[in-house]
Amino acid sequence: MTRRGITVLGATGSVGVNTLDVLGRHTDKYRVVALTANRDHERLLAQCLEHRPDFAVLVDKGAAEKFAAAQQETNLETRLLSGVDALAEVACLPQAESVMAAIVGAAGLVPTLSAVRAGKRVLLANKESMVVAGRLFTAAMEQSGAEIIPIDSEHNAIFQCLPDNADTPLAGVRKILLTASGGPFLHTPRDRLSDVTPEAACAHPNWVMGRKISVDSATMMNKGLEIIEASWLFGLTEDRIEVVVHPQSVIHSLVDFVDGSVLAQLGNPDMRTPIAHALAWPQRFESGVDPLDLIASGRLEFLQPDEERFPCLRIAREAARAGGTAPAVLNAVNEVAVDAFLGGKLRFTAIPEVIEAVLDQADIADHYDLESVIEADRIARLMADAVVDNHLARTA
Ligand code: NAD
Ligand code: MG
């Protein structure tokens, strides 16, 4: 049997590491073609020594020099590329039929979209790229015949629950329900939220993830981004996408049908399940995840999300309804605000304030192409920087 080639964008991150763990269990089926990272040259080299890809990419030139020096001491034949353009280059290599898109943030947009335009099977973890430019992804899929299999656990769950009929996947669907753990501050009173630390925000109760998505989970912007992601992936407007807080993270999401049936996907909270599902689809193979023990799971709870304490959910829905470049602006400002919070420059509760302030001022265009959406992202970041500085000046 010939092995399927795969490129992993963002190999050194949380999703990237989990992907390589699953791939390591199926070396008879998959061959790693390229691995990329921003600047973690040590981890990337260790991954290359284990998985022997044809190409490695480090965006950061200094990190690439260190990688190259260390590579000399090994027998590794991997070709090293550096710079941001190399990401899109390895996303389109003919020897890789599949691309795992696991870069964090809008930085993943160009390489992920390039993979879709090149007709790859794209395993999509990088939700921000879909939020920023969903319309371009939909158009590119139609043109190239690319498939997108969602990796985000909620979207992967919905993908598994939707009818297996490519022509009418939404037949009989009333709505979809995205579950949310509620994050580390689910029960934190409103007046204590302004003092929470980055460490507390990143200590997610059920999942171990990168810092950016951990903060997004704590503000619930993650669920807001996921509403927009789901609307593009499944072709539903935001009013047919509900959010249910489910603190145990055992049910990963549900589909509600017109006849009263509700289908859900369950499992232990471990990203290797959606990753293995997408890698093996339409078959199944082992992921290394323990079987779900329903008795040990005990009670499963479901709660209404609290938009008073977590306004990001409402703000994201408004951006979804506004459409055009509004989700791109939302995402860009969120990235800046989360970064400022992680750097100790912004209070947790100021994150939604900064996002709303910029969305109120920004010019939202109804239509966009790749160039104009990148420009909208750039301007939104400049505006966000100014609002953060203003906050700093007021609180100093
Ligand atoms: P992470 O921070 O752990 O890893 C990010 C990866 O992207 C790293 O390999 C890093 O080198 C690379 N990267 C960062 N900035 C880059 C840049 N400017 N250019 C090129 N590469 C860059 O993030 P993560 O938690 O693995 O999340 C990755 C994506 O998957 C995010 O979009 C996140 O929302 C999504 N996701 C993650 C999880 C999870 O469990 N971690 C679950 C669902 C969805
Ligand atoms: Mg998710």
Q: What's the 3 CA to ligand 1 centre distance in angstroms? A: 26
**275-294 confidence digits (pLDDT tens):** 999 999 999 999 999 999 99
Confidence at residue 384, expressed as pLDDT on a 0 to 100 scale = 98
**30-81 confidence digits (pLDDT tens):** 999 999 999 999 999 999 999 999 999 999 999 999 999 999 999 999 999 9
Task: Answer yes or no: is the C-beta of 126 below 6 A from any ligand 1 atom.
Answer: yes
Is-contact 226 157, C-beta < 8 A? no
**To 5 degrees, how large is the angle CA 306–CA 312–CA 315?**
110
Continuous segment of H or E residues that includes residue 243: strand 241-245
The whole-number average pLDDT for the span 116-122 is 98
Q: What's the 15 CA to ligand 1 centre distance in angstroms? A: 7
Residue-range domains of the chain with CATH: 4-150 (3.40.50.720), 152-307 (no CATH), 323-396 (1.10.1740.10)
Q: Contacts for 343-351 with beta carbons within 8 Å, 24 or more apart?
A: 344/198, 345/388, 345/392, 346/388, 346/391, 346/392, 347/194, 347/195, 347/395, 348/193, 348/194, 348/195, 348/196, 348/201, 348/218, 348/219, 349/193, 349/194, 350/391, 351/215, 351/219, 351/221, 351/312
Q: Could you identify the atom of ligand 1 that is nearest to the CA of residue 271?
A: 40
**242-277 confidence digits (pLDDT tens):** 999 999 999 999 999 999 999 999 999 999 999 999
Q: Could you identify the atom of ligand 1 that is nearest to the CA of residue 103?
A: 7
**Percentage of the chain lying above the pLDDT 70 cut:** 99
The whole-number average pLDDT for the span 74-102 is 98
Look at residues 236, 228, 227, 266 and name the one whose alpha carbon lies nearest to residue 250: 266
Q: Could you identify the atom of ligand 1 that is nearest to the CA of residue 212?
A: 2
